[in-house]
Structure 1
Amino acid sequence: MFGRLRAWSRRHSKLVDALVVSPLVLFCLLTLDVYKSGPPFGRYIGIPATLVLSAALITPLLWRRNRPREVFAVVALVCFAQWVADVTLLPADFAVMIAMYGVAARCTARWAVAAGLVAEFGLLLAVLRWDFSQLDAFPSMSVFVIAIWLAGIYANTRRRYVESLVERAERAERERDQQARIAAAAERARIARELHDVVAHNVSVMVVQADGAGFAIDSDPEQARRAVQAISTTGRQALAEMRRLVGVLRQDAAGGEEYAPQPGVAQLGDLVRQVSDSGLPIGFTVSGTPCALPEGEQLAIYRIVQEALTNTLKHGGPGVRAEVDVHYGRGEIVLRVADDGRGASAPWVEGGHGLVGMRERASMYGGTVEAAPRTGGGFQVVARIPVGVAA
């Protein structure tokens, strides 16, 4: 409710300012006849002139919200002209206090102090002109001016505090939205990497098997049949993994739907056998003492080896042989996938998605990937991923 009221007051600022000064206008109208018998000090200028002077003092207050310094300057000048002309004090002179409050409540400390000093100086001038016998009244009247000035300072401080709270809340909301966008982008990048690895690897295996079946379909039908079966198995595996990945994006996925577990280090042997069955001879060795690894890190290791073997299938050429070595060292796991294929002569693209994906996966766990042609022929991928305390 308070928030709605504040928003309404901002939309109708002129109306609110008019309502604020309306009691002063009413008081000025009710006291028009008070000075007919003679003012206590100064000279009386009649009702028409009093109305004009009161309007000149009060009307600028309608703009005090947007232009507090200019409004205070205008009101102070009108009051000074009134003092010079020796016109008696009017109820409308209280507009100086309202304008001073506006400066203290909406401007910087420097302007607030300046407005307070001007108001105090104006009070001193009034006392010196019209109340010489009672200069001791200045301190008590000055307390009233200072009280209004302090009220404006308090309002200014409170307004700035509320604005800072609103700004912090808006900034927190923006940061939360930004974090959500970053998380969504990271999830999309992760799924893109997974899809790339799944599709590139399995399609490469299927292409190799299909080529083999095409060559052997006349000379060795049994081998061609096994190749076709391997293609079928690989295709089903690719579909299952893609279904699992795409299922992550489904907003209305059934709660009881289950997905296959993510592949890890334990599935490296199956991966090597699958690629070997496609016609790529692979030597697979594991050295060192295996240690427990998080599922995410195991998936990164599996995908790096899978991508390296996929590149061997695509770029190694005929008669290529590969070696996969997994070494559990002190504080790190070293993955080495090497082949004796075409190496530097292969159409390898340094900025390709495969190498980028391997490096991104390793960097997520503080690791590095080096990929380059081997001396004497072939290609090699070496990944170092810290584990345990080193990670």
Structure 2
Amino acid sequence: MRPRPTPAQRRNDLLLALVLLGGTLGSTALYRAAGVADGAPYWHSAIWAATMSLPLAWRRVAPEVVAITASVAFFVGAMAEIGELLFSNITLFIAIYTLGAWGRSRRIALLVRAGIVLGMFVWLIWGLVVAANAPDHLPEMSREGGLVSPYVAYALINVVTNLLYFGGAWYFGDNAYRSARERVALEQRTEELAAERERTREQAVAIERLRIARELHDVVAHHVSVIGVQAGAARRVLARDPDEAAASLTAIEHSAREAVAELHGLLGTLRQGDGEGDDGDTDAPAEAAPHGLADLPGLVAESSASGVPTTLGVIGTPRETSGVVGITAYRLVQEALTNVRKHAGVGATADVRVRWADDELELEVSDTGAGSTVAARSGGLGQAGMRERVSAVGGDLELGARHRGGYLVRATLPLRRAGAVS
């Protein structure tokens, strides 16, 4: 259903009505000065001009009433021999057009327009028939002739002109209504798609955070198991070998501090309130050990086997990292190679580079895919997961097209977290 007009639209309609009133009055004066219309007093013409044009100020509020008023005023003006034919025709056209474009009830709009058009054509045909039998009306036009007499040709011109006039007002009014309906439907679909994208993004982030939580469970379990083993060893040798017991206690302290640092960084990224059902994890089957940097050659081999030739380069001296950094590095490379297979196109190659620095680990996955597919990789759900993982370990992530073609994923992961003991 058509919405009500806005205040700005109503102001524009008022301005249009005033302009048409001025034009109608001026046109009436010109017609009278030309001697074409002098059958009615001027004040009659002024009242008629106001009745004809001013209702257009409410044309979008009550289009049915305005169309009927304009039609009746047009008829009365002709019967009273006002004689103005320019602006009155414009006003009637706008009134019928508006009824088609702004009628809130399509059935009423159809019936009112059909009634107006039928009435106008009955009036036209009746006038032509009466004039055909009145020799003093247009005496210069013969009623007799060949196949088409001059008067019949004149009558046909009037009929065709009125068909085009009313048909145009009808067609353009319906077309404006359809365009408005399609525009509203498009706006609604756009809002729905935006809301759906937002929900999908939030779901992707939630799923990725839950995955991080599961992997964090493995990391923490590793630290706790190490602490348990070292504590048992320290208890057994505490009496006879204090130095060995101290070494075990030092290892316990290191594992505890590293676990606390990783927990502090990761738990802050997890959604609050998703802990329901956590107590039931004890009955779940044990998951496989989490992947890490040592599994990158397997990812590269899998990518090559799937049709994307992939190379792996390691720069610097590898060394031990925390479990979370290893898992994050593995998942980043896995997601980047998956995107290469999905978007890079036929004939693309990929390169994975691992650079070891003093305090950080840099991962770089690049490909030679077609530049036209870069847009398809931007803003994906997998990239939302990448950002979550890198943010969880306090790193930086860079995504984007390469200048020489293809796509680049570069991540910098710190090897030490604040609070951890080296």
TM-score by length of 1: 0.49
Structure scoring higher RCO (CA < 8 A, sep ≥ 6) equals 2
